[in-house]
A and B are shown apart, each in its own frame.
Chain A
């Protein structure tokens, strides 16, 4: 890793997390670079969600170090993570269906006209709508109107709005939890294009997905977790789907208990 020419924007070293008797994560390393899409895959219970929640500050980690832009950081809660510019988009999206797109993009950070008391100062709708249109345009997100109520949007459009909201406040890293899980083909396409757009803009993107077809389409590297350990890292360009499946299920890489196996495969494949 030290030989790497670039410093990862976000790097985790030796992360462990235990819930009672369950060792959810054991000595996991993780890294994502700017302008890179990393796919995080693994079977149910492999620790993907736990890892994401550790990064986004929801679970405190038991052991390990976190580096942002090469500097060690301590994460005690979601607020710290937000300050670093790391945003997470969960499966349930957290949009208000009854509000329009502009209102959702600005929810909790509304623009106001004058500096009267913030509670009574009028909203600056013109400014918010204009910026919302710009953001959607740079992300190539196509919507009928930014004044549409979110409830009237398709699944892909909602996912796009949720992602746009996560990245429009100068985010550097965005974590996407199953972004295409509930979507049809055309809708997934929309979201995958958006992910590539984020990459183009230099963000570090982490995608959790069960859908290997989607993963192969957009990611640069694939990190495989199994039973709480990182068991493999693959470059998407030079890996077959079968290899990933065997890494996920453990068919080829043998005993997880042996730490060396994991590290060996990682070194071999990561390049």
Chain B
């Protein structure tokens, strides 16, 4: 392999005009195939379930699917951040259940107003995460162990908080409104258009800046191609949502958080340091990054997002009970992050994998529900999908290492 390299400097690639294939490649991400295999997988899954049950791709079912995905997907955003660090948080399911219960108990049993109860739930999540993060960094115990203890401990606390009644039904318009508000058609289109315009303008601005600085920049075709894809996806989604009840608030929250945390991870020092710690903690430490500070902050954020996921979940179901956040919440959240392409080994991945992964996981479970498959089969199939996703992660990691030589 001849690695002493081409000519003096650094113009990305040769003079040949960029073809559409190049645009496609740059869209998919430089080195890896990016999210393409997963999106293809999603199309295949949707195709299969549509053939098996024509209701699968109906506007109503897709909206429901998205609402289901929003709750666990929000938990998954936090898990992506934690996985980027090379850590794991097994307590996110229990924390989502506990914080949901705290909101319900405050609001229903103690008459605290909805917004304040929700705020208290979020702060409880933050406090739990900071506590676990400090425990992990202070005593240098693997996060796996501390958060496993957390899983049990917070589940117990949830039972304690819920007390005798077990199930609490929610009626507060604010709490219930979080997942049951749908915006009229016009607003849906407006939100979609604004989003697409912002994305295109920021791409053009970046191009102009890089041109002015004489750095390699994205070709016009690549930008047009990208914009067209994003616009098409947006128009499609809004059209589907509008055909049912309209754009749901929960989806705005979920996608908004993904955009927010995507910007934080890719465009800020904090985000850069998350990747650095996940890539090589020792190198990060020597670069005078506060490694433990980053870890604690991310565990705090992770648990707060778990709390929000729990609140979205109880709001959608109008109730919280002893099994909220239990059983497969944790595994679905981890599976979503990993299926979306975030590495379990730290340092590689993107917040968008929470969206893509949650869509895959909930497409499968929603589709199997529509087909009324028994739960034995559902568990087996979900397990198989997770195994395939983790294997792809391990293989692509090994390929990265081989390329590194």
Contacts and interface: CB of A to CB of B under 8 A. Distances in A.
A126 B210 contact: yes
A130 interface: yes
B286 interface: yes
B289 A108 contact: yes
Given A99-B276, A133-B10, A149-B31, A126 B215 contact: yes
Contacts of A98: 275, 278-280, 347-348
Interface string B1-25: 1011110111010000000000000
A137 B289 CA distance: 27
Contact of B268 (A99, A107, A121, A190): A121
Given A95-B280, A119-B270, A152-B404, A130 B213 contact: yes
A112 B10 CA distance: 23
B51 interface: no
B209 A151 contact: no
A119 B268 contact: yes
B39 to A, nearest CB: 23
Contacts of A137: 8-9
Nearest to B4: A186
B369 interface: no
A108 B213 contact: no
Interface size class of A (residues with CB under 8 A): 35 or more
A219 B285 CA distance: 32
A96 B276 contact: yes
A145 interface: yes
Interface string B277-289: 0111011101111
B34 to A, nearest CB: 14
Interface size class of B (residues with CB under 8 A): 35 or more
B328 interface: no
A126 B211 CA distance: 10
B215 A122 contact: no
Interface string B28-41: 00110000000000
B403 to A, nearest CB: 5
Contacts of B269: 110, 112, 118-119, 121, 123
A147 B30 CA distance: 10
A96 B6 contact: no
A156 interface: yes
A96 B270 CA distance: 15
Interface in B367-405: 400-401, 403-405
Interface in B171-204: none
B4 A123 contact: no
Contacts of A119: 268-270
Nearest to B12: A145
B267 interface: yes
B403 A152 contact: yes
* Most A-side CB within 10 Å, residue of B3, B12, B31, B348: B3
Contacts of B220: none
A129 interface: yes
A133 B284 CA distance: 22
Nearest to B287: A108
A187 interface: yes
A153 interface: yes
Contact of B283 (A95, A112, A142): A95
Nearest to A154: B3
B289 A133 contact: no
B55 interface: no
Nearest to A165: B287
B19 to A, nearest CB: 19
Contacts of A120: 264, 268, 270
Interface string B337-367: 0000000000110000000000000000000
Contacts of A142: 4-6, 8-9
Contacts of A181: none
B279 A190 contact: no
Nearest to B1: A154
* Most A-side CB within 10 Å, residue of B30, B268, B269: B269
A96 B280 contact: yes
Given A99-B275, A126-B209, A137-B9, A151 B288 contact: no
A151 B4 contact: no
A255 interface: no
A156 B272 contact: no
B214 to A, nearest CB: 8
A187 B276 contact: no
Contacts of B1: 154
Nearest to A118: B269
B279 A187 contact: no
A159 interface: no
A107 B9 contact: no
Nearest to A132: B10
B284 A107 contact: yes
Given A98-B275, A121-B269, 18 more contacts: A93-B283, A96-B279, A97-B404, A98-B347, A107-B272, A109-B287, A120-B270, A123-B268, A126-B213, A137-B8, A142-B5, A142-B9, A147-B30, A152-B400, A153-B3, A157-B3, A157-B5, A187-B4
Interface of A: 92-99, 103, 107-110, 112, 118-123, 126-127, 129-130, 133, 136-137, 142-147, 149, 151-154, 156-157, 186-187, 190
11 contacts: A107-B287, A108-B288, A119-B268, A119-B269, A121-B269, A123-B272, A130-B213, A137-B8, A144-B5, A151-B401, A152-B404
